[in-house]
Structure 1
Amino acid sequence: MQIEPFEIAIADHDIDDLRRRIRATRWAPATPSPAWQQGVDGAWLRDLAEYWAGHFDWRAAERKLNRQPQFMADVDGQRVHFVHRRGVGPAPYPLVLTHGWPGSFFEFHTLIDLLCDPGAHGGDPADAFDVVVPSLPGFAFSQAPARPGMSSFQVADLWASLMHGLGYARFGAQGGDLGAGVSIALAARHAQAVDAIHLNFLPSSYEPAIGAEQEALSPPEEAYLREKNEWAALEGGYAHMHGTKPLTLAASLNDSPVGLAAWIGEKFRAWSDCAGDVERVFPKDELLTNISLYWHTQCIGPSIQMYWENRLQPMRFAGAQRVAPPVGFARFPKEIHRPPRSWLERTFDVVHWTEMPAGGHFAAMEQPDLLCAEIRQFFQPWRQPRR
């Protein structure tokens, strides 16, 4: 596997073009309605756009991103961008973290520091991890797939090859959103290499086997499925669009930075533990670093096409199928779906379950300290040498 160092360097003319486009925005008229009731709030979006064009410092964001050691690798014919940070400790444990949509590898910028160098943050160096954070195919600087079929299962195959190429015979995996699906697929398809997986989300397409041989749905499971369906009816339009007509949507979002900011920014507010004030949790600079990654790499189209691929290859388990590697789950209070433990136990060996005190869908950004402590605790049994 060929690996090359990588550094982000967006051209000046791309930054100038972005500012020009923002300032030339043709703002959409709308019938008055309560703020955020029908989608993004226009006043908030105008304020964000003004800051993006006039005050946001991409070069400062770029320097921050480049503090993490980044690489490009040819993995089974797919160009993959990834962060690879070696842990500072006697025996760092290898861990692959996978982001989701509308996030990016930037989601883990604080968590990486905490996991890799616990001694620098008041922790025990014996808890250090070697952390690998790949960008999903078609996201940020990872090449868009050259052919159809790149669902979570195929991404898991790439990650297994990447970790093997980096010298890790066995490792752990963690993720939320699309990253949870990739982590599950890693456990299902590469149990010989994956010690265990930790999740803070359960993919919407996950279905355990339910039939004559299995127990009937419990009341908590019935309530969960009902709530999930109700949420999909009112809040899931984005996913239906991603999964059925992604390129129609991409034609607009790839051409309008303000449209892109609306599509992504609204989700950061709706899905986080922010009590309606998105900037209480995500300062403008953090929001715009993530959105700018989508803009400058023109990845919005390929990124949402993964929903199409996952719709064709859903996370469904049949018969008595079980996933062998143990599973840990952190259930955050403001996550968009909150399954009961029994729903996972129909397929997985759930050995660790935590009701988290705060946080939502973007756990690594919202509550990096809480998630770090949870990951450290869960993967402790697989450390070598064992303590």
Structure 2
Amino acid sequence: MSVIGDTTVQPFTVNFSEEDVADLRRRIAASRFPEKETTTDVEQGTPLATIKAVVDYWGNNYDFGRVERNVNAFPNYVTEIDGLDIHFIHARSPHEDALPIIITHGWPGSVVEQLKLIDPLVNPTKYGGSASDAFHVVVPSMPGYGWSGKPSEAGWSTERIAKAWVVLMEQLGYSRYVASGGDWGAVVTELLALEKPAGLAGIHVNMAGVVPPEIDGALATGNPVPPGTELSKEEQETVDQLKYVYSHVAYALVMASRPQSLTGLADSPAGLAAWLLDHDRASLEMIGRAFVDGEEGGLTRDDVCDNFTLFWLTNTGVSSGRLYRENKATFFGVKGVTVPTAVSVFPDEIYTAPRSWTEQAYPNLLHYNRLPKGGHFAAWEQPELLVSELRTGFQSLR
């Protein structure tokens, strides 16, 4: 146990009980399914064939010890910040002058999203990099997720999480650091930048908030782009993507308005899995191909079952969703970030940030790159590409 200032940071080990794993197995085996969807695509949500294949693999072929082993392969800790236990992985590099980085996951993710990044960032010389590419890596579980505490009262917004990350990095003794994230992690990272803590040297996001306010406001409310708005071809493509996104976010609206009604996520593993799968079309289709057709792309069946298992055994299906209710920040709109910023754009992200809007949103833009492959769960799907982006994006800040 190490003590930093007045705050105790305690070592933590993931330890799922045999009884809880046995109960999960029993519940998976007892799954009951609805009838087949009446469409031939994913427009009605997670297809019957996909969830049946998921349940079959999860119950009969998956190694339930994977999550424990994979997470425990790195140093884990818990500390109390603002009255709540915060779990985090903290892997220090052996290389001198490594740059500290805090990386934030999203929903329906967890710290398993970032596990593939940690060793290449910490030990770059093992993965084709140089010692000057090294990072000290901090990966926290957001409140209500994984092994962090579950807030018992309202108020744990994305802004409050950003403030907590400032405290965490100070407690760990880092006087200079960078931050990165996608999905909720991108929102939290940008809000962290708005805090302008003395130690924050720059940020990286792979779901950038670049949409001009008047356009973001119109699209978010189902209205057309304001008359007279001139859009380039690339900007129009982004607008079309966002129209689709805003008309297909029923899951977010439910969690924002009625999270406590999702009791089924705590009672049925199949129900939890189907809900977590239905985030965005490209990811759902990719995962469906992995389970139904055996066509594993960026994510393997084991990768996906790791996340299901973590959510189930920590019983965080409902508590994680409450962040949609707590959030007050725009997902995709400009937030006023002025710190040095690097942006990575993956082609199958729910929307692709145009360079023009990105340059306007971040006046101190260090790096902008459109990647050849990858989607919403970039750290999980394409860790090699994201590691390269982090090395390149922050190179000038070392």
- TM-score, normalization by structure 1: 0.90
Does 1:351 pair with 2:366? yes
C-alpha deviation, 1:222, in angstroms: 4.8
Q: Which of 239, 245, 251 matches 1:225?
A: 239
Match of 1:323 in 2: 337
Match of 2:314 in 1: 297
Match of 1:237 in 2: 250
C-alpha deviation, 1:172, in angstroms: 0.4
CA contact under 8 A between 2:277 and 2:284: conserved in structure 1? no
Check 1:148–1:344 CA distance in 2 against 1; reply closer, same or farther (3 A cut): farther
Does 1:200 pair with 2:217? no
Structure 1 Cα separation of the partners of residues 242 and 333 of structure 2: 19
C-alpha deviation, 1:374, in angstroms: 0.8
Does 1:184 pair with 2:190? yes
Match of 1:46 in 2: 52
Q: What SS does the corresponding residue of 1:91 show, helix, strand or coil? A: coil
Matches within 5 A, 1:36-115: 36-115=42-121
Q: Which of 359, 366, 378 matches 1:363?
A: 378
CA contact under 8 A between 2:12 and 2:78: conserved in structure 1? yes
Check 1:185–1:285 CA distance in 2 against 1; reply closer, same or farther (3 A cut): same
Structure 1 Cα separation of the partners of residues 102 and 120 of structure 2: 15
Structure 1 Cα separation of the partners of residues 143 and 283 of structure 2: 24
Structure 1 Cα separation of the partners of residues 95 and 191 of structure 2: 29
Amino acid in structure 2 at the alignment position of 1:286 = D
Structure 2 Cα separation of the partners of residues 375 and 130 of structure 1: 13
CA contact under 8 A between 2:67 and 2:309: conserved in structure 1? no
Deviations 1:133-166 (A, max 9, x none): 0001000100012321212111000000000000
Identity of aligned residues (%): 36
Check 1:144–1:48 CA distance in 2 against 1; reply closer, same or farther (3 A cut): same
Q: What SS does the corresponding residue of 2:202 show, helix, strand or coil? A: strand
Matches within 5 A, 1:110-121: 110-121=116-127
CA contact under 8 A between 2:209 and 2:333: conserved in structure 1? no
C-alpha deviation, 1:120, in angstroms: 1.6
Structure 1 Cα separation of the partners of residues 132 and 37 of structure 2: 58
Deviations 1:253-276 (A, max 9, x none): 111100111112343773378396
Check 1:155–1:51 CA distance in 2 against 1; reply closer, same or farther (3 A cut): same
- TM-score, normalization by structure 2: 0.87
Match of 1:261 in 2: 273
Q: Which of 371, 374, 387 matches 1:372?
A: 387
Q: What SS does the corresponding residue of 2:276 show, helix, strand or coil? A: helix
Q: Which runs of 5+ in 1 are unaligned?
A: none
Match of 2:223 in 1: none
Amino acid in structure 2 at the alignment position of 1:141 = W
Structure 2 Cα separation of the partners of residues 32 and 209 of structure 1: 37
Match of 1:342 in 2: 356
CA contact under 8 A between 1:272 and 1:334: conserved in structure 2? no
Match of 2:283 in 1: 271
Matches within 5 A, 1:121-200: 121-200=127-206
Match of 1:332 in 2: 346
Structure 2 Cα separation of the partners of residues 25 and 169 of structure 1: 50
Amino acid in structure 2 at the alignment position of 1:252 = G
Deviations 1:162-185 (A, max 9, x none): 000000112100000000000000
Amino acid in structure 2 at the alignment position of 1:290 = N
CA contact under 8 A between 2:180 and 2:203: conserved in structure 1? yes
Structure 1 Cα separation of the partners of residues 107 and 358 of structure 2: 22
CA contact under 8 A between 1:208 and 1:347: conserved in structure 2? no
Match of 2:264 in 1: 252
Structure 2 Cα separation of the partners of residues 273 and 375 of structure 1: 27
C-alpha deviation, 1:131, in angstroms: 0.3
Amino acid in structure 1 at the alignment position of 2:154 = P
Structure 2 Cα separation of the partners of residues 150 and 69 of structure 1: 26
Structure 2 Cα separation of the partners of residues 315 and 332 of structure 1: 17
Alignment RMSD, CA only? 2.5
Which stretch has the larger CA shift, 326-335 or 31-40? 31-40
Amino acid in structure 1 at the alignment position of 2:158 = S
* Residue-pair matches, total: 374
C-alpha deviation, 1:243, in angstroms: 1.6
